[in-house]
Structure 1
Amino acid sequence: MTERCIRVALAGVGSCASSFVQAVVLSRSAEQDMPGLMHHRIGGYRLGDVEFVAAFDVDHRKVGIDLAEAIDTAPTVAVRHVAVPPMGLKVGAGPLLDGVEGKLSKIVEPHPDCGSVTASMVTAALRDAEADVLVCFLPTGARAAVQMYARACAEAGAAFVNATPEPVANCPELAALFLERGVPLLGDDLRSHLGATTLHTALIELLGSRGVRIADTYQLNVGGNMDFYNLSDPARSHSKQLSKRRALASTGLDATDVAAGPNGYVKYLGDRKVCFLRIEAEGMLGSPLSMEIRLEVEDSPNAAAVVANAVRVARSAADQRLSGVVDPVCAFLFKSPPLGMPESEALRCFQTFVEKSAAPAPAALAHTT
């Protein structure tokens, strides 16, 4: 491992974490040839510079075993593309809070230790591991747990990447805490590398650039991983629905009544996600225009490609002494950033950040004591 590594912690060791770990392992030998990797280096860091130093979960099948084994343990359904050797890192028990409420409680039996884990214990674990960045892969709807990890990161001096739609970057109190502690914050709700939201917003922007008026649209998604199982519970999916509409609204579209988001769990699909997208529009002389698209992707690698950017951006932001929400990158990496932008503008801001951070001076995050 290079001296300039990124010490990463994971909250939630499910399918997305599995694909991200696999991508890091693969990148150490084949990074320049990896499809889907936008930048070989961000802030001077390669993806292969990631070192996993802590991991938390609540499932009794995952807690206490090596991370390499945990990323293959049920209910994870991510496809194993890469052989991951033992990592010498055991998954720790995370705080239970609201992590497995609703339908997830039928699938996940919490580890006995989770009931006694406190926020201060997570903060201490992050300090002991000298974590630079924590990626939060917790289930949608677990607001208390997500925000607890965020506070623990701010106190420990570790940057926070919020892959969930629960408000962290959009929570004024938490955004202010990260700014006060001098720690970078990225969020909310990871935008898949080339998923339904990215395709939908790009098409809306394309039509708008031609003066075509959109009359109606919808985006329906089904999948077979635990994310879709969790989101099939209406009590858990509310924040995801809001996040999807915010992403569409960033294009200038009135998305108040647009159907967009998870619409069903189909176990047969496994880690595949299928999007059915339709746009109806009006062109010159009121002429009708419509399109229907079926997009199928392997869900977790699609997310891992974005996390590959996000963790290196977070570490680069820390090197530059940036703190609080890193607005220039969030609109490209997340569906529900505090400052939304059209697809092309978000990409331009992200690429500008990467170019400006090409070679920062090495620096360690200031871990609070």
Structure 2
Amino acid sequence: MKSIRVALAGAGNCAWSFSQFVAIAQADPDTKLPGLMCPMVGGYRLSDVHIVAAFDVDAKKVGRPLAEAFTAPTISATGFTRLGTDGDSMVLPAPLLDGLDGPLGAVVEQAAATRSATEEDVAKALVEWEVDVLVITLPTGASQAVHMFANAALAAGVAVVNATPEELARNEDIRSRFADAGVVILGDDLRSHVGATSLHTTLVELLLSRGLVLTSTYQLNVGGNTDFLNLADSTRSATKFASKANALRAAGMTDVEGAAGPTGFIEHLADTKVCFAHLQATSVLGSEVEIDVKLKVEDSPNAAGVIANAVRAAKVATDRGLSGVVDEASALLFKSPPHGLPESEARSAFLNFAS
């Protein structure tokens, strides 16, 4: 079985946690990893993944090996282990575009090399490093930058995992271009392993499966990493709210008063994310049911387990000659795929695909 060569578009907290997850798997391929839903995806283990390059715009990261880049001041995710040889992979400059618009511009210094970087440079690097899968983990709202990476990957014939809420897989023109070119794209907006959306949609599905009528719901999320700093700007968070709404609709919630999304940046929380969810429903004889739950997780490792499935699914789909959006993989791993499903159905579809 060949290895899976991965490039990271964005060397931030989620990339750091994913890189550590890969490093632990590489150090002992037979170890049982908590949180790894599928030890094998189409014959690939997580230890078969190798991170060969990354792209960023931060002056503290560009031109440095990954292991050094992940010590930048903007990294708040916990360091659980040292990286293996993947830590020597270099962080390459990418065009800035709208990557640092909003609050991020005040905490990240733009690398000089990004001023002359082009989309063609990114595509060339993907070819030179023989990348199989590009994982896009850029800030929410960086629409221009996300689309630039998608175009570069398409030009290079590299599969894309879009972990951001910016619409790629849901964009009819983009997914048609990938399908016509014979290139796989998975997305949009990574669904954390046991996160706010997974919890919320599971509770919605539970109530509806019992025949209850959902009358109102909300999901409020706060955190202290750079993702939540960025999302504190309403002009940057709009696509995140839309993505979460898509996930709730896929779970079966229609015509119900409700809201779901990031509601605050609390710096001392660092990479901790706290979710407060409320659901109210009408049951037998008009009796009322209310559910209030609090979920507290470390945000970035929660994403790493899903990226571990997504990169292997993208490679398997490519190996099988598939192209464009692969619904069997996207429905479970992303909040806002083109064709959403209730989580129980999405899980069955993914496990069938992965076998």
Does the pair score TM above 0.5?
yes
Residue 6 of structure 1 deviates from its aligned partner by 0.3
- In structure 1, the residue matched to 2:278 is 278
Q: Distance in 1 between matches of 2:257 and 2:238?
A: 14
- In structure 2, the residue matched to 1:70 is 69
Residue 85 of structure 1 deviates from its aligned partner by 4.2
- In structure 1, the residue matched to 2:41 is 42
- In structure 2, the residue matched to 1:287 is 287
How big is the alpha-carbon RMSD for the aligned residues of Structure 1 and Structure 2? Answer: 1.1
Please tell me whether the aligned partners of residues 193 and 305 of structure 2 are also in contact (alpha carbons under 8 angstroms): yes
Where does 1:249-268 land on structure 2 (aligned, <5 Å)? 249-254=249-254, 257-268=257-268
Unpaired segments ≥5 residues, structure 1: 356-369
Please tell me whether the aligned partners of residues 215 and 257 of structure 2 are also in contact (alpha carbons under 8 angstroms): no
- In structure 1, the residue matched to 2:219 is 219
Residue 254 of structure 1 deviates from its aligned partner by 2.3
Where does 1:1-369 land on structure 2 (aligned, <5 Å)? 4-31=2-29, 32-85=31-84, 87-254=87-254, 257-355=257-355
| Cα deviations by residue, 1:280-328 (Å, 9 ceiling, x for unpaired) | 1111000111011000011000000000000000000000010000111
What is the letter of the counterpart of residue 246 of structure 1?
N
Q: Distance in 2 between matches of 1:306 and 1:71?
A: 20
Residue 165 of structure 1 deviates from its aligned partner by 0.2
Residue 73 of structure 1 deviates from its aligned partner by 1.5
Residue 72 of structure 1 deviates from its aligned partner by 2.3
What is the letter of the counterpart of residue 319 of structure 1?
D
- Say which SS state the counterpart of residue 134 (structure 2) adopts: strand
Q: Distance in 2 between matches of 1:52 and 1:210?
A: 45
- Say which SS state the counterpart of residue 347 (structure 1) adopts: helix
| Cα deviations by residue, 1:261-290 (Å, 9 ceiling, x for unpaired) | 000001111111000001111110001110
TM-score, scaled relative to structure 2: 0.97
- Say which SS state the counterpart of residue 153 (structure 1) adopts: helix
Please tell me whether the aligned partners of residues 14 and 300 of structure 2 are also in contact (alpha carbons under 8 angstroms): yes
TM-score, scaled relative to structure 1: 0.94
Equivalenced residues, count: 353
Q: Distance in 2 between matches of 1:258 and 1:116?
A: 45
What is the letter of the counterpart of residue 29 of structure 1?
A
Residue 88 of structure 1 deviates from its aligned partner by 2.4
Greater Cα shift, 23-32 or 34-43: 23-32
Please tell me whether the aligned partners of residues 248 and 255 of structure 1 are also in contact (alpha carbons under 8 angstroms): no
Unpaired segments ≥5 residues, structure 2: none
Please tell me whether the aligned partners of residues 245 and 256 of structure 1 are also in contact (alpha carbons under 8 angstroms): no
Q: Distance in 2 between matches of 1:88 and 1:59?
A: 18
Please tell me whether the aligned partners of residues 208 and 252 of structure 2 are also in contact (alpha carbons under 8 angstroms): no
Q: Percent identity?
A: 51
| Cα deviations by residue, 1:4-30 (Å, 9 ceiling, x for unpaired) | 100000000000000000000001234
